[in-house]
Amino acid sequence: MKSRKVLLFWCVVLGLIVIMTAFAGLFSTHAPNDMDMDKIYVPPGENHLLGTDHLGRDVFSRLLEGGKVTLTVAGVSVFLSLVIGVLYGGISGYVGGYVDVVMMRFLEALITIPSLILILAFQAFMQGGMWSMALIIGITGWLVTARIVRSEFIRLKEAEFVKMAIMFGTPVWKIIFGHMLRNSVPAIFVVTLFNFAGAVFIEVSLSFLGIGVPPAIPSWGNMLYYAQNDILIGAWWIGLFPGIMIFITILSINFIGEALKDPGRRRLNA
């Protein structure tokens, strides 16, 4: 009962963040890029709920718009990595044999390379942008998903209902999608949640370093990037609120993922 309440609480928190950022235009009090040089570094107050930045832009509005960009980049990249991981891991696990050995050796070789190096390598010849960043994170973040899908397919190949389906001549595509992939959904969903948290962290980290989403596009990482100098002059609110939003978002995703993993662990231990 307690774990369900915890799961519900974090689902509500994440849901509120997603809704407020997805519909940023409805909740924003100002246009995110509107500058007012007469209101530079205004602290949080009535007219500007979370204050203004070095260009007089409303921090609250930029926080919501930046969240939309960050979560969109993470969502698109996770969807791309999910598709690649399911295809790669599914083929490896279902076919097995020499094909599985070769595909897994290649995957293990990629896993040994730090993801940041792969991302920087792709960025060397791809133009910077919101969608290119999502593409880069997506094509470098499918490795764990592929391993999970492969292990699930290998386990399900030995299940009685799959053996019976093969015996009765069920088409291969129906066995893969109707039996094996469908029964792998819980494990895939959990790993996708953790990948989403990782994608948020990667986007924020790269934008904070100045090599992620272009500065002209507001994102949580870009807001932290610009806040580095602002904190030194006492404008603490510019970096504090994006940091809190990033922390709560990643924390809620991780708590939800851990809560969804627990039932599976209990079944295995039963």
Grade residue 94 by pLDDT with cuts at 50, 70 and 90. confident
The full length of the chain comes to: 270
| Encoded amino acid at 108, one letter | E
Maximum pairwise Cα distance, the chain: 77
The stretch 30-57 carries a mean pLDDT of: 85
pLDDT classification of 1: cutoffs 50, 70, 90:
low
Query: 193 vs 33, which has greater pLDDT?
Result: 193
Which pLDDT score is estimated for 235?
85
> Residue 47's pLDDT is what?
83
Confidence band of 21 (pLDDT split at 50, 70, 90):
very high
In percent, how much of the chain has pLDDT > 90? 31
Closest C-alpha to 140, from 152, 122, 162: 122
Residue 63: CB partners within 8 Å, gap ≥ 6? Answer: 50, 220, 223, 241, 242, 245
- DSSP class of residue 52 equals B
Q: Is the pLDDT of residue 15 over 90?
A: yes
**What is the per-residue pLDDT for 270?**
36
The full 3-state SS of 68-95, as one line of letters, equals: HHHHHHHHHHHHHHHHHHHHHHHHHHHH
199: nearest Cα among 23, 80, 60: 80
The torsion angles phi and psi of 58, rounded to 5 degrees, stand at: -70, 120
Q: What is the pLDDT of residue 269?
A: 39
Position 264 confidence tier, pLDDT thresholds 50, 70, 90 = very low
**What's the pLDDT tens digit per position in 151-200?**
998 888 888 888 888 777 778 778 888 888 888 888 899 999 999 999 99
Q: What share of the chain in percent tops pLDDT 70?
A: 94
Instruction: Give me the residue spans of the domains in the chain.
Output: 73-265
Q: Which CATH superfamily is domain 73-265 in?
A: MetI-like (1.10.3720.10)
Count Cβ atoms below 10 Å from residue 6 Cβ, excluding itself: 14
pLDDT of residue 114: 79
Residue 263 has pLDDT above 60, yes or no: no
Give the model confidence (pLDDT) of 65-76 as tens digits: 999 999 999 999
- Specify the amino acid at residue 58: D
> What's this model's pTM, rounded to 2 decimal places?
0.85
Q: In the predicted model, is pLDDT for residue 266 greater than 70?
A: no
pLDDT tens string 220-250: 988 888 888 888 888 888 889 999 999 999 9
**pLDDT at 255 > cutoff 60:** yes
Nearest to 140 by CA among 84, 214, 59, 220: 84
